Amino acid sequence: MRKEFKAIIAAILAVWLFMMGFELGSYREKQNIRKEQAAQTTTAAPTSEDATTTTAVPTTEDLPEITGVGNAIAELTTYPDSELSAATTAKAKNNEDTTKAQATTEDVSALSKEQIVKRATEAINTLKATKNMTARNEETISIRIVDCSAKSAVSILNSVISKKIGDKNVTYVFLDGKAVGHDDDGKEIKDEGEVTPNQVIPPTDAQFTLPAAGVKSASAKRNGGDVTYTLKLAEERSSIDQPVPTYNAQAIGYLKMTDMEVPGATITGADMHYPGSSVVVTVDDQCRVKQLQLYLPMDGTGSAKMGFLSGTASFEGYSTQTWKITY
């Protein structure tokens, strides 16, 4: 999740407490574990759990059509050596053309929820592992304070927040799996450094592992050779004691209030509500991702105390990301 989102929530509580008469510093994030995770990923031995989640058992739908042995022998005896290579190449091309034709005529609207989730999962994880491509992320954050203990602070808080939110566009040109992001003015995103697709395409630093149980509804629609899979996630809630919303964390990300602290104060509660996120992925006739759209709506209430005083603040908002991919 974009760092600005956490900074916004930090500003909400900081300004709110200040309006109650407290002198507070700004928030800071406790953890910056990307490099550590990357190191662990390259050195850790695969576990049985890893094998389960990354190695799919092929179904009859996935298996290619196998040419009979008799036909193969007939082909070998029909063509002289000088013509065999050309004949084999031509046959392979015909098979490829047939596969593409089938891919552009399949009635995807008849796919089950489980089939749609499986195809979307495979496409997104393949994208996160792709080494050479251009990925442009167009992101928007919108958030506002609904209420807080210091009523007079609401308009001030929303004024501060409005200066931090909005659109942010970043383009990555990945070569051999590495890239440095640039904004629309060509400036480097310096706080990220050199990154891999897996580090920036959600869910960051993790595989897309959304199970069918976490999907409220799923649909598939064809447009020529392209297919769009739409997954609408189940509603979720989280708290300061159980901060991870299972399905949102597996598919997009989440706002982890426990990653932040208020100097001199204690966060006593953080109740988050995720009413229904969505993942929309469009693939071409080679099953490569052309576009990945993520919508993360949320609302919540946070509480904190300092000494004998305490208060609450509530907010609502959303984050959207649109990844456009070219190869």
For the chain, domain boundaries: 3-52+110-326, 69-108
pLDDT tens for the chain, 327 residues long, are 555 555 556 555 555 554 543 323 223 333 344 545 555 555 444 444 443 333 343 343 443 332 333 333 233 233 344 444 555 556 656 655 554 555 567 999 999 999 999 999 999 999 999 999 999 999 998 888 898 887 877 888 788 778 777 899 999 999 999 999 999 999 999 889 999 999 999 999 999 999 999 999 999 999 999 999 999 999 999 988 888 999 999 999 887 665 555 556 677 888 899 999 999 999 999 999 999 999 999 999 888 887 777 888 888 999 999 999 999
Q: What is the pTM of this model?
A: 0.70
Per-residue three-class SS string for the chain: CCHHHHHHHHHHHHHHHHHCCCCCCCCEECCCCHHHHHHHHHHCCCCHHHHHHHCCCCCCCCCCCCCCHHHHHHHHHHCCHHHHHHHHHHHHHHHHHHHHHHHCCCCHHHCCHHHHHHHHHHHHHHHHHCCCEEEEEEEEEEEEEEEECCHHHHHHHHHHHHCCCEEEEEEEEEECCEEECECCCCCECCCCCEECHHHHCCCCCCCCCCCHHHEEEEEEEEECCEEEEEEEECCEEECCCCCCCHHHHHHCCCCCHHHEECCCCEEEEEEEEECCCEEEEEECCCCCEEEEEEEEEEEEEEEEEECCEEEEEEEEEEEEEEEEEEC
